[in-house]
């Protein structure tokens, strides 16, 4: 009996540790002084802070270069309609250079304890989205980061292409909030990544996801009350501009 109780207690402890909410720095830990959204320094800051993940946004320029920037604009230019050299000549808000996906992956490779969460942005045609997915997967493979990268997207087509073309075990979470957990499971996605407003309307989706083996990520959660709501309701990942506060609430 005593042995059984010890076993039960350790299993419970393991489950509790496994179930603890993890923190993903939205566009990197950009709030740290001197940094900016989607910069190499914001990724490095997240790695130094030790967050579970660091999110970034990927767009394809008019001449086919994958760059890390939210878009749609960089200064006065539309990122997807402008060539790389023109975009690169414009400094980012903190003076850093607009990073390519390759440069971002090189930084990710320096500390794989923090996963890189790649958001592939919507592009105008299915052909273009398919090409972007193919090229992102190839770049991640080149850096041997397949186990250290997870993917998110608003476009169902992008997510479907990731499921279809990614190696076995590729993690894909859908962002747009308009599919039920069952529908995401049917499409082969491994999780949902929904806005906090959507999740508060559908808190039942958290348990439904877990019963289906899907993960639950919530964006972009910055204030203390909503961070607490996510932790109390057992979401797996919080995507936040405020990773330091999220860590504090988690006792990290
Ligand atoms: Mg994003």
Give the distance (Å) from ligand 1 centre to CA of residue 12.
35
Please tell me the distance between residue 34's alpha carbon and the centre of ligand 1 in angstroms. Answer: 20
Neighbours of 121 (CB within 10 A): 20
Rounded to the nearest angstrom, the distance between the alpha carbon of 222 and the centre of ligand 1 is 14
Cα 124 to averaged position of ligand 1 atoms, centre (Å): 17
| 57 Cα to the center of ligand 1, angstroms | 5
Q: Partners of 25 in the beta sheet? A: 54, 240
pLDDT tens, the chain, 252 aa long: 666 666 666 555 544 444 699 999 999 999 999 999 999 999 999 999 999 999 999 999 999 999 999 999 999 999 999 999 999 999 999 999 999 999 999 999 999 999 999 999 999 999 999 999 999 999 999 999 999 999 999 999 999 999 999 999 999 999 999 999 999 999 999 999 999 999 999 999 999 999 999 999 999 999 999 999 999 999 999 999 999 999 999 999
Kindly list the protein residues that place their beta carbon closer than 5 angstroms to ligand 1, a single-atom ion.
57, 119
Closest-CA residue to 27 (of 77, 88, 83, 96): 96
* 5 C-alpha to ligand 1 centroid (Å): 45
Task: Give 203-207 contacts, CB < 8 A, sequence gap 24+.
Answer: 203/233, 205/180, 205/181, 206/233, 206/234, 206/235
**Distance from Cα 168 to the centre of ligand 1, integer Å:** 24
CA 70 / ligand 1 centre spacing (Å): 7
User: Dihedral through CA 235, CA 55, CA 193, CA 225, nearest 10?
Assistant: 50
Ligand 1 centroid from CA 220, angstroms: 9
Question: pLDDT for 1-52, tens place per residue?
Answer: 666 666 666 555 544 444 699 999 999 999 999 999 999 999 999 999 999 9
> What predicted TM-score, i.e. pTM, was given to this entire model?
0.93
Q: How far is the CA of 55 from the centre of ligand 1 (A)?
A: 6
């Amino acid at each position: 009996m005593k042995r059984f109780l010890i076993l039960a207690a350790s299993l419970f402890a393991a489950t509790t540790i496994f179930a603890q909410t993890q923190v993903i720095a939205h566009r990197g830990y950009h709030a740290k002084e001197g940094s900016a959204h989607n910069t190499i320094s914001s990724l490095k800051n997240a790695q130094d802070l030790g967050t579970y993940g660091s999110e970034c946004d990927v767009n394809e320029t008019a001449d086919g270069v994958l760059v890390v920037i939210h878009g749609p604009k960089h200064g006065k230019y539309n990122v997807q309609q402008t060539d790389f050299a023109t975009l690169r000549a414009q400094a980012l808000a903190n003076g850093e250079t607009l990073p390519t996906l390759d440069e971002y992956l090189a930084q990710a490779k320096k500390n794989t304890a923090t996963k890189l969460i790649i958001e592939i942005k919507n592009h105008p045609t299915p052909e273009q989205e398919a090409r972007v997915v193919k090229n992102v997967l190839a770049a991640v493979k080149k850096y041997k980061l397949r186990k250290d990268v997870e993917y998110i997207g608003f476009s169902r087509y992008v997510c479907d292409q990731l499921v279809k073309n990614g190696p076995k075990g590729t993690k894909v979470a859908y962002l747009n909030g308009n599919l039920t957990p069952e529908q995401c499971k049917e499409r082969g996605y491994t999780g949902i990544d929904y806005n906090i407003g959507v999740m508060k309307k559908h808190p039942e989706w958290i348990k439904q996801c877990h019963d289906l083996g899907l993960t639950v990520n919530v964006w972009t959660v910055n204030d203390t009350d909503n961070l607490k709501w996510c932790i109390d309701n057992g979401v797996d990942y919080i995507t936040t501009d405020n990773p330091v506060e999220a860590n504090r609430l988690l006792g990290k």
